[in-house]
Structure 1
Amino acid sequence: MTERTRRQLRRTASLLVIITLLFGCGAPSGSAGDAPRQETISISGAFALLPMVSLWAEQYQALNPNVRFDIQGGGAGKGMTDVLSGAVDIAMLSREARAEETARGATLVPVVIDAVVGVVNADNPHLSAILAVGLTPELARAIWIERTVTTYGQWLGVGGDDPITVYTRADASGAGEMWARFAGGATQEELQGIGVNGDPGLAEAVRQDRLGVGYNNIAFAYNPATGEPTPGLRVIPLDLDGDGAIRPDEDFYANKATIIDAIRRRVYPFPPARELYLVTKGEPGPTIKAFYRWILTDGQQYVAQAGYAPLTQEQIDAALAKLQ
């Protein structure tokens, strides 16, 4: 081999080393070039969905560490306002969207089912009679909307003039709208009573008032750890056939599992049971679509654990098709 040939081989080898360093190895291991881009999904809205979405976010983030979540409650009205103004990516909604909201781009995907229930203080002196008689839509209307029934004597058909202290939601909420619709109204604004902000606030107000009645999403009417009624509260049964008495087949309120089963079987009425939605302004982007698809497939395994009723398979299929 001549000296000239050796020099050419050395130059070629040096060039190959440079090319390898520049293109072959890529960015060093662990650098920003290898790491997936971090994304944050911000969510606000209905207290009814807060426990479920929080659990979904925890499980999804464990599978997708590059996706993080910023979640807060505040009520369905706040969530819708936030998402339509661009303050958050997703709203949690516990009612159907209104025409003016869809006109502004609100795009809904159903994710789970739950219900609103009437609640009464566990130390109410008339508790046994309340649990025996229950509530009808007509009676709920007389208590919360018309205010023609203002004492427990009128409610229960017995003597006594203990006043019914009526509580309702002060903030715009899906729970309030569902309870109004159950009582024959159309909007939350028709409900009368002492206004309290938030599901936790309303539950606490009734819990502190022996003569208080109100309504809550089941996530706050039942203890999330035990499934039993929240300490200090009892759920008011619904008199489904209107005969003035709660029969054994109407009494499914002992714990969260029994009422969830009644909702799943469509025995508990719609309303105050309802579908819960996640909402974006316009079509959701790829990251949110991926999260939605996971919720509607693998994420459904956590629904019972969180104390909700699942969507039907037809609802899931329709929602997945909408995401195509």
Structure 2
Amino acid sequence: MKTIKSFLFVAGLAVSASSNLFAQEVSQNKVVITGVRFAYPLVDKWIKEYTAENPKAQITIDARTITDPEKYDLLIEAYDQDKAVKETREYISIGRYALLPVANSTSAFAKEYGDKGLIEKTYKQIFFHDIYAEKDNSITVPFTVYTRLQKAGAPLTFAKYFGYEQQQIKGKSIAGADEHLIKALLKDDTGITYTVPGLAYDLTTRKPAEGLTIIPVDLDGNGRVSKEEKQTDNLDQVLEKLETEKVKNVPVEYVHFSIAKNNSNQEAKKFLLWVASHADADLHRYGYLKPEPKRLQVEKEKLERFSAVK
């Protein structure tokens, strides 16, 4: 009887040890990502490709709400962080996003400015109600600006480009993510907003998303919108112009992936390096501009050194 009990005890210890080792392995391979929501479709594609090559990896996106989740490994951000924050994290600039003005296609604003386009002074009057900007008395159609309520990459980048703060964007402030601005705009036949190409366009057809009109802007800053500048019907052509020419009136900013310098999660580090090497192939497909090569190379080298630390 004692022999049987001893055998069962040893077997139990073996099972327990095996379970602990399995749990430890799962923990080591688990990576939690959070951050700017408009990047999730692209990041989700990378997760699927990476885990196909690394089946033990368990990478999930924990969607950001008003705040970030309590625990995460990798953070996606769409604006430049403060110096103090940068000192505590390692960054990789995976791509750039542009911000384009869009309107409800049924609106009088879309009908007029979808053809006329926006020059800088009109842009500022519409989105910031700038009383010091040179007046454009031709604005006679009704419009309702929709903007983000919480601090976020798109509104920060949009306002900063034109010399303002996020809170100076005028209009209806919407809680939630960038896609919620689009949903609100589509319900309002006077609605206008700013958004990323990945939301402004149908990524399959490469045409403007249903119900949206892309408002052309004065890209060369000469005070008028030319016939060529009004060509906004094809996403790939828009991306090519933004990437190869020096344009005005289109805010552009980086999307960053970052990891805390005290994070020892090797799977998270491996995934970041994988993204740095593979991101280029998917950026245009999802409406992003490619990063500046020298910047990406410098950050990749820093990340490789960081990843070597266990």
Q: Same fold per TM (> 0.5)?
A: yes
| Residues 193-232 of structure 1 aligned to structure 2 (within 5 Å) | 193-196=171-174, 197-232=176-211
Stretch moving more, 48-57 or 247-256: 247-256
On the 8 A contact 2:117/2:225 being kept in 1, the answer is yes
SS at structure 2 position matched to 1:184 = coil
Which residue number in structure 1 is paired with residue 55 of structure 2?
A: 65
Supply the distance in 1 between the matched residues of 2:50 and 2:24 (Cα, whole angstroms). Answer: 16
Matches within 5 A, 1:49-198: 49-74=39-64, 78-79=67-68, 82=69, 87-102=71-86, 105-146=88-129, 148=131, 157=138, 160=140, 162-185=141-164, 187-196=165-174, 197-198=176-177
Give the residue type in structure 2 aligned to 1:279: S
Unaligned runs of 5+ in 1: 1-26
Cα RMSD between the aligned structures? Answer: 2.9
Aligned to 1:24: none
Letter in 1 for 2:25: R
> What is the rounded CA distance, in whole Å, between the counterparts of 1:270 and 1:113 in structure 2?
16
Q: Contact 1:147–1:192 at 8 Å: present in 2 too?
A: no
Q: CA shift at 1:271, angstroms?
A: 5.8
Partner residue, 2:234: 255
Alignment-mate amino acid for residue 40 of structure 1? K
* Partner Cα separation in structure 1 for residue 208 and residue 173 of structure 2: 23
Distance 1:172 1:227 in 2: 29
* Deviation at residue 124 of structure 1 after TM alignment: 1.5
Partners of 1:127 and 1:166 in 2: CA distance: 13
Indicate how the Cα distance of structure 1 residues 89 and 36 shifts in structure 2: closer, same or farther if over 3 A, else same.
closer
Query: How big is the shift at 1:188?
Result: 1.4
Code of the residue aligned with 1:135 in structure 2: it is L
Q: Which runs of 5+ in 2 are unaligned?
A: 1-13, 306-310
Higher mean Cα deviation, 108-117 or 139-148?
A: 139-148
Report the alpha carbon displacement of residue 148 of structure 1 after superposing the two structures with TM: 4.8
Partner amino acid, structure 1, of 2:237: T
- Measured against aligned partners, the alpha-carbon deviations of 1:294-319 in whole angstroms (never above 9, x if no partner) come to 11213422223333222232222112
- In the alignment, the residues of structure 2 paired with residue 181 and residue 90 of structure 1 have an alpha-carbon distance, to the nearest angstrom, of 26
Specify the SS of the correspondent of 1:262: helix
Provide closer, same or farther for how the CA distance between residues 102 and 319 of structure 1 changes in structure 2, counting only shifts above 3 A: closer
- On the 8 A contact 1:36/1:66 being kept in 2, the answer is no
Q: Could you tell me which residue of structure 1 aligns to residue 224 of structure 2?
A: 245
Instruction: Give the letter for the 1:304 counterpart.
Output: H
Q: Does the aligned pair in 2 maintain the 1:51–1:219 contact within 8 Å?
A: no
Q: Hey, what does 2:25 align to over in structure 1?
A: 37
Using the TM superposition, give the Cα deviation of residue 144 of structure 1 relative to its aligned residue in structure 2, in angstroms: 2.1
Q: How many residues align?
A: 281
Q: Which amino acid aligns with 1:189?
A: Q
1:318 and 2:308 equivalent? Answer: no
Match of 2:243 in 1: 264
Percent identity among equivalent residues?
Answer: 22
Q: Deviations over 1:167-193 (max 9, x none)?
A: 1111221000111123221x3122121
Residue 296 of structure 1 pairs with residue 281 of structure 2: no
Greater relative contact order structure (CA < 8 Å, 6+ sep): 2
Q: Normalising by the residue count of structure 2, what TM-score does the alignment of the two structures yield? A: 0.80
- In structure 2, the residue matched to 1:5 is none
Instruction: Tell whether the 8 Å contact from 2:108 to 2:142 is kept in structure 1 after alignment.
Output: no
Q: Comparing 230-239 with 119-128, which one deviates more in the overlay?
A: 119-128
